[in-house]
């Protein structure tokens, strides 16, 4: 199969997956299929050199498609968008962060540009630390990257789902602190009820 046909097939798969998700209640109705859908979207956007930000994910959103959609038109839109994106003036990370603060750019648009996962912890740090200017922007970026690279996001996600902090959660928190994860106190205070 040639490259164009394989890309057209991947677009078809993604759109069909999205339409099926819509029919079955969306992300809430079928979380595993939604995760699979997002993985496919991310992979396709990466092939085009596009970040996985909402602006580009939206090109493949099922809300734009009904029966009889044109695969060639979707491919052309992706190619045009990728060309524009790749030829645009690239901004430095400090400039992106400065713009984020100044214009209150949505985390789902900026974090993928910085190759940062949109995770409970990184979203918190972005919204509550960066945008509220509680620390230097590059330190905030470094903290998000460190959490992502140290494979701590899973544990941070588990902590964020905890309704009460008992021995297990407190031990996790100590381990994360020992690893050097930043802004843990603020993160935990945003959702936790500490057990007495």
pLDDT in tens, 104-123: 999 999 999 898 988 999 99
Residue 6, pLDDT > 50, answer yes
CB 98 within 8 A of CB 161: no
Examine the domain organization and report whether 180 and 97 are in the same domain.
Answer: yes
9-14: long-range contacts at Cβ-Cβ below 8 A with a sequence spacing of 24 or more?
10/40, 10/43, 10/44, 11/44, 11/60, 11/71, 11/74, 11/75, 11/78, 12/71, 13/40, 14/40, 14/41, 14/44, 14/60
Give the pLDDT of residue 194.
52
103 by Cβ neighbours in 10 Å (0-12 / 13-18 / 19+) ranks as exposed
Examine the domain organization and report whether 74 and 42 are in the same domain.
Answer: yes
49: left (phi over 0), alpha (psi -120 to 50) or beta: left
Domain boundary among 62, 87, 112: 87
pLDDT level of residue 67 (50, 70, 90 thresholds):
low
Give the pLDDT of residue 68.
63
Of residues 115 and 26, the one with the higher pLDDT is 115
Domain boundary among 26, 59, 87: 87
Per the domain annotation, does 196 fall within a domain? no
Residue 195, pLDDT > 60, answer no
Examine the domain organization and report whether 37 and 99 are in the same domain.
Answer: no
CB 114 within 8 A of CB 96: yes
CB 1 within 8 A of CB 9: yes
Model confidence, pTM: 0.74
CA 159 – CA 178 distance, rounded (Å): 16
CB 19 within 8 A of CB 65: yes
| b/e burial code for range 45-81 (CB count within 10 A of at least 16 → b) | beebebbbbebbbebbebeebeeeeeeeebbeebeeb
CB 189 within 8 A of CB 160: no
Examine the domain organization and report whether 104 and 31 are in the same domain.
Answer: no
Per the domain annotation, does 62 fall within a domain? yes
Per the domain annotation, does 194 fall within a domain? no
Examine the domain organization and report whether 82 and 102 are in the same domain.
Answer: no
Provide the domain limits for residue 26: 3-87
Per the domain annotation, does 113 fall within a domain? yes
Domain boundary among 47, 66, 87: 87
Instruction: Match 């079928």 to its residue by tokens.
Output: 30
Instruction: Match 């045009």 to its residue by tokens.
Output: 80
Total structural domains within the chain: 2
């Amino acid at each position: 199969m040639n490259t164009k046909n394989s890309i057209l097939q991947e677009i078809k798969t993604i759109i069909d997956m999205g339409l099926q998700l819509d029919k079955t209640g969306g992300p809430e109705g079928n979380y595993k299929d939604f995760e699979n859908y997002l993985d496919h979207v991310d992979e396709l956007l990466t092939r085009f050199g596009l970040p996985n930000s909402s602006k580009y994910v939206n090109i493949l959103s099922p809300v734009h498609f009904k029966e009889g959609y044109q695969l060639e038109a979707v491919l052309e839109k992706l190619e045009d968008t990728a060309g524009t994106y790749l030829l645009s003036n690239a901004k430095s990370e400090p400039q992106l962060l400065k713009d984020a603060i100044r214009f209150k750019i949505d985390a789902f648009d900026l974090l993928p540009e910085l190759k940062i996962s949109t995770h409970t912890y990184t979203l918190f740090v972005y919204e509550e630390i960066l945008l509220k200017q509680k620390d230097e922007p590059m330190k905030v970026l470094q903290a998000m990257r460190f959490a992502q690279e140290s494979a701590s996001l899973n544990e941070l996600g588990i902590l964020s789902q905890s309704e009460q902090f008992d021995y297990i959660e407190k031990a996790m928190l100590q381990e994360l602190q020992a690893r050097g994860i930043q802004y843990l106190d603020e993160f935990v205070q945003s959702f936790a009820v500490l057990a007495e």
